[in-house]
Structure 1
Amino acid sequence: MMAGTPIVEDETPPTRDTTYYISDGNTVLQVENTLFRVHRSMLVKDKSTFDSMFSLDAYTQNTEDVVALSNFIAEGESDENPIRLHGDKADEFRALAWALYSLPAEIAVSMTIQANDLQLIHLARIAHKYQFRSTEMWALSALTQFHSNSPASGGGSPPVQNLVQITELSILCEYEPLRNAAVAKWNRLLGEGRAVAVAIGVAERLNLRKLLGLAYYSMMLKGREVWDSDPQLNARQRVRLLSGHYNLIKLCEDLPNTPPRLTHDSSCIRKGKCKNAFGALWKLVLTTKEGGLVGQVMKLQSADLLAKVMLAESVVRAYVEGNIPQLDLSSVEGAGEVQMHEKCLPIALAASQDKVKEVQEHLVEWFSDVV
């Protein structure tokens, strides 16, 4: 090529959509590099943004606006002068056309486990943008049902990228049921040690604090070699992991001596001794010791605070329900009289359950930017 010769970009002409370029349609739209020909009457359903776009009431009757209106109406009459929808994707508009033109039997499939969740994601996003309100709510409801019923792992698992998109969509549309379904699926993935770095990124970007805490916690348990080698983690996130590891080790060291606060039944007249007995049970479960029921704590990582409080809760539950032999609490330092009041036992279990919830809720707070 000679110097100074202008470079001419080869622009590929748009192509007609194979399904939704309808021969008797009266409006042509271009989305990305795809042409759609649909009926204008379909686009103005549900009092959408298109209704305002096509309405004469949107314009005042001065000369300039009449000219603008005539130019706008001319758009969409041919392939050469389509209405261009900027910022949208062809797959999104195709999903909208599917929703507008599908038969009831086709729509019904979307409320089952056989649904195409990516199609529903595209539909909900474009319906939200153009204010197809009832279509948006229907798509969000269908997505919630699909992701509430489908498994998070195995052959039925949707791609992680789809899960990222429904999480973003739930925030964009402020639709709490879908957000809860998405977070539940993230939690199951994290429990399997999958997509942890992706979950950290999504939770930070969308400010999902409980999910963020669990994601950092799951990554922390993988060990520093994994943190340092994972290309999806940045330097600040690695600092937060180090900080969390340090903080949680300290909490785990103090945990045997800090049982949950125990309230008492009104019939309990020896509250101090009852409290000591519960504290002895809590300490016995969480003290490192070879063998026996409580030896399970030795199998846990030193910073695995959540697993330790869950272990303690499960042993307290078994103790309260009489499913394990009476433990010898007398050997625990400071136990004193080791018999809890009978009616305080379910209160102790509830306190243990609250401790698990507290740790889950506040995990993110231990992963600060400063070690």
Structure 2
Amino acid sequence: MAHLSADVFAGSFMSHSGEVSPSTPKLQLHLSIPIPSRDSTYYIADGNTVLLVENTLFKVHRSTLTKDASTFDSMFSLDSDLRSSSHVSGNSTVTTVGPEGENDDNPIRLQGDTADQFRALLWALYSLPHELSVALTPEANPLQLFNLARISHKYEFRSIEAWSLNALTQIYTRPMHPPSNKEVDGPTLEQLTELASLCEQRDLLEAATQRWRRRIASGKDISLAINVAERLNLRALLGRAYYAMLLQGREVWDADGHLTRAQIIRLLSGHYTLGRLWERLPNEPPPFIHSPRCMGAAVVRCNQTWAGLWKSMMDMGRQGVLLQYPDVEGKLMLAESMLKTLMERDMPTPGLLEAMPWCKEQTLMATAGKIRDIQESLVDYFVDV
């Protein structure tokens, strides 16, 4: 990086005795001013437009940037009418500066973009078909596609945006793709989630959410998931993250430096409301539709049997020493497992299943439905009241 320097002279300095010392040496003030450098690939000799992104100069063709009805089309239309000139009187000559983008001294400045993002856009605009096809293979560069999707969304290259998002989705839904927080040479999971939400790409957002769920299940980045989900209003992910943090316990909440006071209050609220739910559940068996063969008095008997069986399973959940008090999901899944065992092994169950011979499968579906309902509404239990 080059630097420019300037000398600042001290006219006089006071000596220790209070007298002016004319012999005090001059001071040199070094100003560090980076000089833009030309991009090694996309400073094209016969290009007709110079753009400055961060500290990199790109020289490309205006006709290329106006493809896909992008915002560059309107930008260049406005720019063609702008001129700036400076006049100096006396013996100085008049210097006229042409439109922005005409040369390195007066480039079009793109604010808020990175050189890598703009380079990714030019890669998509200038590459040959066989070069672009690499993005749809395991050799694709996730970070390049991420940068491309972000900048093409900003400047409204609609077809390029759709293509890059589709390529990213293929990468992150590929079975062998490593489910880590920071993919190799790729964006972080937070960046990927933000992009999917910004571009409203459901499949990519679902792929990112599944990665969050795996990390949350392993106890990693739970508070980060809470903050990302709150910022992007991802309710399903937010409920799962809050629930996982709830089961970590108060000591972990207090030690975590990323949780706000409001978030801790929501965790306390979740602990209370889920605990109350668990207290009610034994007396609230989930309803189910009876088998057509279950009629008349058999329906009454079936309902009574189901209520007793449900309460018994809930009581077993209360005795589960490995499950925490507010872990309603875990206790319901334990109950579902016990119910499956009773049915699959055809165990003798006097007073439990013998009185409901035609509705066993319906009760299992009702239990699974109850678990699903609670999972889908988890975020509603963590309300700051």
With structure 1 as the length reference, what TM-score do the two structures score? 0.84
Residues of 1 paired with 2:183 and 2:328: CA distance?
29
Work out the CA distance in 2 between the residues paired with 1:117 and 1:329: 59
Q: Out of 6, 11, 29, which is 2:33 matched to?
A: 11
Q: Which residue of 2 aligns with 1:181?
A: 207
Equivalent position amino acid for 1:242 in 2:
L
* 1:313-332 to 2 correspondences below 5 Å: 313-319=336-342, 322-326=343-347, 328=349, 330=351
Correspondence for 2:143 among 89, 112, 118: 118
Q: Deviations over 1:25-82 (max 9, x none)?
A: 2221101111112222221111111122234xx69xxxxx845599997221211111
2:364 to 340, 344, 349: 349
Code of the residue aligned with 2:338 in structure 1: it is: V
In the alignment, the residues of structure 2 paired with residue 367 and residue 234 of structure 1 have an alpha-carbon distance, to the nearest angstrom, of 14
- 1:257 equivalenced with 2:279 (yes/no): no
Contact in 1 for aligned 2:50/2:60 (Cα 8 Å): yes
| Distance in structure 2 (CA, Å) of the matches to 1:345 and 1:153 | 39
State the match for 2:46 in structure 1: 24
The letter of the residue matching 1:273 is R
Deviation at 1:107, TM superposition (A): 2.0
What is the CA-CA distance between 1:367 and the residue it aligns to?
Answer: 0.9
Cα distance in 2 for residues equivalent to 1:104 and 1:198: 39
Structure 1 residue 272 and structure 2 residue 293: aligned? no
Deviations 1:228-285 (A, max 9, x none): 0111111111111111112222222333332211221232111122122223333333
Alignment correspondent of 1:62: none
Shift of 1:7: 8.0
Distance 1:132 1:215 in 2: 35
Corresponding residue number in structure 2 for 1:306: 329
CA distance in 1, matches of 2:212, 2:72: 36
Runs (4+) of structure 1 moved beyond 6 Å? 5-8, 69-73
* Greater strand content: 2
| Counterpart AA for 1:307 | G
Opposite residue 339 of structure 1, the aligned amino acid is: A
Indicate if the aligned counterparts of 2:182 and 2:189 stay in contact, CA closer than 8 A: no
Which residue of structure 2 aligns with residue 94 of structure 1? 119
Given that 1:276 and 1:338 are in contact with CA atoms closer than 8 Å, whether structure 2 keeps it comes out as no
Q: Aligned equivalents of 1:254 and 1:159: distance in 2?
A: 50
In the alignment, residue 43 of structure 2 is paired with which amino acid? Y
Gaps of 5+ in 2: 1-7, 13-26, 86-95
AA in 2 matched with 1:308:
K
State the SS of the aligned residue for 2:136: coil
For residue 102 of structure 1, report the CA deviation from its aligned partner.
2.4
Alpha-carbon distance change, 280 to 27 in structure 1, aligned in 2, over 3 angstroms: same
Give 2:71's aligned residue: 49
Unmatched 5+ residue regions in structure 1?
60-64
Amino acid at match of 1:82: P
TM-score, normalised with respect to structure 2: 0.81
Q: Which has the higher contact order (CA 8 A, sep 6+)?
A: 1
Q: How does 1:1-371 map to 2 (within 5 A)?
A: 10-55=32-77, 66-68=81-83, 74-149=99-174, 150-151=176-177, 153=179, 157=183, 162-269=188-295, 270-288=298-316, 297-319=320-342, 322-326=343-347, 328=349, 330=351, 338-342=354-358, 344-370=359-385
Q: Supply the AA of the counterpart residue of 2:383.
A: S
Please identify which structure carries the higher helix content.
1
The answer to whether the Cα contact below 8 Å between 2:44 and 2:60 also exists between their aligned partners in 1 is yes
- Matched pairs, number: 350
Maintained 8 Å contact 1:20/1:36? yes
Distance in 1, Cα, partners of 2:373 & 2:312: 21
